[in-house]
Amino acid sequence: MNLSEILPVMQSVAREAGQLQLRFFRQTMAITEKGSARDIVTEADLAVEKLVVERLRSLFPDFNVVGEENSYAATASPWRWLIDPIDGTTNYSKGLAHFALSLALARDGEVQLGVVYNPAAGEMFWATRGGGAFLNGDRISVSTVDSLQKALLATGFYYDRDEKVTRTLRQVRALFDQDIMGIRRYGSAALDLCFLACGRFDGYWEHTLNAWDFAAGWLIAVEAGAVVEAADGKTLCLAKSGIMAAAPGIHDALTTCLASVPLAGSGQSAKDNDQIGGFNHV
């Protein structure tokens, strides 16, 4: 399989999907609750995923497909698409222009290609395994920040408002006690990872995400020089997982600070706790 031939297809599909996103954006559209008023899907999510799957299956009919909004029959192929039609659905539904299509291609559980496209900003990020990361054709790399005091970080919250949210807020407090520059919560994991990749953010963590949320951004961040791992310090894989990503210069300090905040009542640090997760990303 020639990845250099698949990448332009992914970029073309992403642009077409982005055009569809913009046609629905800030228009009246149907919104359905998936599990709660905080966990929603718009008719745009469904239309975009349908478009992307149709385009990809017409060209690669044997590839497996994993999408956020629908289930698809499995095939014997080692290749798998991971699709989030609108990463940042809550932003999108409220008319906030911070959302993206996230599209990744994995083989045997290892991401080979990743594309993240925000049509509202006209920004397309992409990466190929071993080939670097790019924004609109220009190569990108993580920042050279070497202390938390100079670092701008990003995080996320969750649909379910239990101890994971409390822990994140306590980690925010711990980081501010380290006199960090600041923390942002923008509501799109894919773009958070891409912003880390191009130096807009210096670190990012979240408890937790689905594979379609982070697959493309994960590869883009790694190819840009970021250290990316599961939030519990273990090796990240394409499954529901927490994530911690950082520029190399602050990785150790950020890991230490986050791990200093245990789950309430656990008596354990984050690195010792094997169960961090269970939420979709909005």
Mean confidence (pLDDT) of the chain: 90
Classify domain 3-139 by CATH architecture: 2-Layer Sandwich (3.30)
CATH, range 148-272: 3.40.190.80
pLDDT tens for each residue of 11-55: 999 999 999 999 999 998 888 876 666 667 899 999 999 999 999
Output the CA–CA distances (angstroms, integers) from residue 99 to 74, 102, 123, 197, in the order listed.
Answer: 28, 10, 11, 17
Residue 172 C-alpha from the chain's centroid: 20
Question: Which of 129-143, 152-166, 232-246, 247-261 has the least mean pLDDT?
Answer: 152-166
| pTM score | 0.90
Q: Is 243 helix (H, G, I), strand (E, B) or coil?
A: strand
Question: Which of 36-50, 71-85, 184-198 has the least mean pLDDT?
Answer: 36-50
CA distance 273 to 111: 26
The mean per-residue pLDDT over the stretch 115-142 comes to 98
Nearest to 228 by CA among 193, 191, 260, 276: 193
CA distance 282 to 271: 25
pLDDT value for 203: 98
The mean per-residue pLDDT over the stretch 202-228 comes to 96
Residue 81 bridge partners (DSSP): 65, 105
- Identify the helix (H) or strand (E) that includes residue 82: strand 79-87
CA distance 176 to 56: 44
The mean per-residue pLDDT over the stretch 173-185 comes to 96
Domain boundaries, the chain: 3-139, 148-272
The mean per-residue pLDDT over the stretch 55-73 comes to 91
How buried is 78 (Cβ within 10 angstroms: 0-12 exposed, 13-18 middle, 19+ buried)?
middle
pLDDT value for 158: 74
Residue 211 bridge partners (DSSP): none
The mean per-residue pLDDT over the stretch 93-111 comes to 97
pLDDT value for 15: 98
